[in-house]
Structure 1
Amino acid sequence: MTKLPNDDQLLAHYRRNLTDKQIAAMYGCTVQAVNLRLNRLGIERKPHSNTATALLEQAWPTAVYRRSRFTHFSRARRLWVFIRRNLGDPALSARQLHESLAFEHHIREHYVVLDLDLTQSNPWVFRPRLHLDEDLVIRWPEDRPKPSLRELEALRLPAAPWE
């Protein structure tokens, strides 16, 4: 296996918008090796995905709620892509964009919020919207501090096009 280039050269490839796969092919190494080196250099690879995950972690920390055990449920995935869309993630696929819009439509149409209830078989539960929910798409846990107003924007329903 060939060794990756020095940091400056690797960053030059990254800045030329080469993918990890393309860089790995150039040097005969694994994609994971390229990804690891770029991460060590402080390159934030998926800022929108990371921010969406961090917001969910603030609401329902994995250590307490075991949220990561339930991320495969469609409601959790749709919430995650909804947050990414609100953050302006250009990497959303057409399918993810569709899921995000379907999630938003359901929230508006049924006047509900999404909550995590570990007593249910599918712990992602839609609950009737309350005044305390404001315009968030989730019911923020009462025992958790809310994130900054800027971070909360990603969890808010965007203004409807007809408003």
Structure 2
Amino acid sequence: MMGFGNKATRPAISDFERLRLEAAGDSPAQLDKVIKDLAKTHTHQQIAKELGVTRQAVTLRLSTAGQSTKGRKSVLWSVLPWDISEHPQKQYFYNQASFTGLRAFISERQGEAVSARRAVELKRFKELHLAEGEVVHFDVHNGFVYRPREASDRGLVVRWPSDKPLPDPDLLRLILLVDPRSRPQ
């Protein structure tokens, strides 16, 4: 019979526990701080790759530390004016084609790789909606819907609520119809 210490019989360590061990002596609070700091500028996937764990382990660690688990979406919610985190239909709204297209658009603007599925959503978003003069609008009853572009939309791909301040220029470019960085000087 093989002993408990033998790798062949030892229970696999969870990614969550591996994150704790990766800290190599850091307290859980120190580890949480490191991961939270990384989450400000990195996706959960990038953090996971750096630490040698799964993305799910990073998300779990952040959620147990009381940190938003939006990962890459944290930039998304920093640039968008709507907070639907408490809306009873938020999951339905998150899966609407208008929102997934917008999410893919912002991901592309951030320079992130877009999966094949997201590429289809992005193409549909650009060719069927943006090119046809539509913007994404949030309606509390219907979720993310397309509306005809108006002069008040100021070149954005979303209808910005008049009572909300616009994001800073680095974030604003993510939702402009034409990215100022792509214009010839």
Q: TM-score, normalised by structure 1?
A: 0.66
- Structure with higher RCO (Cα < 8 A, 6+ apart): 1
Structure 1 pair 39–134 and aligned structure 2 pair: CA distance change class (3 A)? same
- Tell me by how many angstroms 1:68 deviates: 2.6
| Structure of higher CA gyration radius | 2
* 1:141-160 deviation line (CA, Å, top 9, x unaligned): 1111111111111111246x
Q: Is 1:53 matched with 2:73?
A: no
Superposed CA RMSD in Å reads 3.6
Conservation of the 8 A alpha-carbon contact between 2:59 and 2:71: no
Give 5+ residue unaligned stretches, structure 1.
22-30
Correspondence for 1:75 among 73, 79, 98: 98
Letter paired with 1:18: G
- Equivalent residue runs for 1:115-130 within 5 Å: 115-119=137-141, 122-130=142-150
Cα distance between partner residues in 1 of 2:87 and 2:48: 37
- Equivalent residue runs for 1:1-163 within 5 Å: 2=13, 3-4=17-18, 5-8=21-24, 18-20=52-54, 32=57, 35-37=59-61, 48-56=72-80, 59-62=81-84, 68-69=90-91, 70-90=93-113, 92-119=114-141, 122-158=142-178
- Tell me by how many angstroms 1:101 deviates: 2.1
Letter paired with 1:20: T
Q: TM-score, normalised by structure 2?
A: 0.60
Give 5+ residue unaligned stretches, structure 2.
1-10, 26-30, 35-46
Conservation of the 8 A alpha-carbon contact between 2:136 and 2:144: yes
Conservation of the 8 A alpha-carbon contact between 1:111 and 1:129: yes
* 1:69-108 deviation line (CA, Å, top 9, x unaligned): 4112111111111111111112x21110221122011233
